[in-house]
Amino acid sequence: MLRLEKVSVSIEGVRVLRDVSCELIDRKATVLIGRNGAGKTTTLRAIMGLIGLDGGTIRLDDDELDRLPAHRRAHLGIGYAPEDRRLIPDLSVEENIRLPTLALKLEKAECRRRLDEVYTLLPELHVMRARPAGGVSGGQGKMVALGRALTVARTVLLLDEPFQGLAPALALNYARTLGELRKHRPELALLITESTPALLDRIADCTLQIERGEIIKPNENEGKSCSCNSSASRETEPTMSGSRSML
């Protein structure tokens, strides 16, 4: 389980996250909802170690992530698809998806297996695998970024505003893919940020609200919300032991 405790982050002297505490539970999809500038992206970047913490801790089970260099997250199986895709334009679509397997020094058979896994879930990537990543459309780029994040993800998958900038048809397609993903890869803990929660209704096991860098106490009436400071969420208790394959 990934747990944030009193995480504070500043960007150029401005406090962006204030004492953010929350946890991602294995096999559950958590949706982080907030407006633009609320701190959604910063939360994900803090988890990935791409921005330093002013205070607080981030743990993945027994590993203190905030003490590890950024690139160790991928080795611990945390996959990340940023909102703006961030593909390597000089490499082909497939090379982008395979990039993590090179970085993680995986064996050939394991690379093959992970690639097949991605293509099964996102067959459209197989069709355009030879195209340079610099030449795919924004929506397609989002899919490639998802595929690349899936190659890494063994424990946690972080998706930053996956529907942002997608045409309605593509957004529906993406949402369907996420549904498939839950079935194919139930072991993953998902954290998805969104400004509009509607598309994620069917996927979300719990929702968190973030506003001006603070997590708002969840609305108990909705019944779907996670508690942010404890693991009191009753429906999650039995699966907490989590059968996680770390490879």
Partner 1 sequence: MLNAIIPLLLDSLASAALIFFAAVGLTLVFSVLRVLNVAHGSLYSIGGYVAASACLFIASRQMNPYLSFVALLFSAVFVAAIFGPVVERSLVRWTYGKSEAVQILITFGLFLMLEDLQRMIFGVQSYYEDTPMRLLGTTNLSGVVYLNYQIVLIVMAVAVVVGLRFLIRHTRTGRLMTAVVADREMAQAVGIDTNRIFMLAFSLGVFLAALGGALATPTSGIAPGLGADTMVLAFAVAAIGGLGQIEGAAVASLIVGLARVLAIYVAPELDAVAPYAAMLVVLLIRPYGLFGSTSVRRV
Tokens 């195209």 -> residue: 131
In whole angstroms, how far apart are CA 205 and each of 84, 145, 175, 221, 233? 25, 23, 14, 15, 10
Interface with partner 1 (CB under 8 A), residue from 37, 89, 138, 179: 89
Q: Which secondary-structure segment (H or E) carries 118?
A: helix 108-121
Alpha helices in 128-209 (DSSP H): 138-152, 168-184
Interface with partner 1 (CB under 8 A), residue from 3, 6, 15, 75: 75
Interface with partner 1 (CB under 8 A), residue from 74, 115, 143, 189: 74
Nearer to partner 1 among residue 28 and residue 98 (C-beta): 98
Interface with partner 1 (CB under 8 A), residue from 9, 32, 33, 48: 48
Nearer to partner 1 among residue 99 and residue 216 (C-beta): 99
Nearer to partner 1 among residue 77 and residue 218 (C-beta): 77
Closest separation in Å from C-beta 71 to partner 1: 5
In whole angstroms, how far apart are CA 14 and each of 22, 38, 103, 131, 154? 22, 13, 34, 41, 34
Phi, psi (deg, nearest 5) at residue 194: -155, 155
Considering only the stretches 12-20, 47-55, 163-171, 196-204, report the one whose residues sit in contact with partner 1 under the rule CB under 8 A: 47-55
Interface with partner 1 (CB under 8 A), residue from 5, 19, 63, 95: 95
Considering only the stretches 1-9, 91-99, 135-143, 203-211, report the one whose residues sit in contact with partner 1 under the rule CB under 8 A: 91-99
Closest separation in Å from C-beta 232 to partner 1: 32
* Cβ–Cβ under 8 Å, residues 20 and 214: yes
The reply on whether position 73 binds partner 1 by CB under 8 A is yes
The reply on whether position 162 binds partner 1 by CB under 8 A is no
* Cβ–Cβ under 8 Å, residues 32 and 190: no
* Cβ–Cβ under 8 Å, residues 226 and 217: no
Task: Summarize the chain as % helix, strand, coil (round to 5).
Answer: 40, 25, 40
| Site residues, partner 1 (CB under 8 A) | 48-50, 69-75, 80, 82, 86, 88-91, 95, 99-100, 102-104, 148, 152
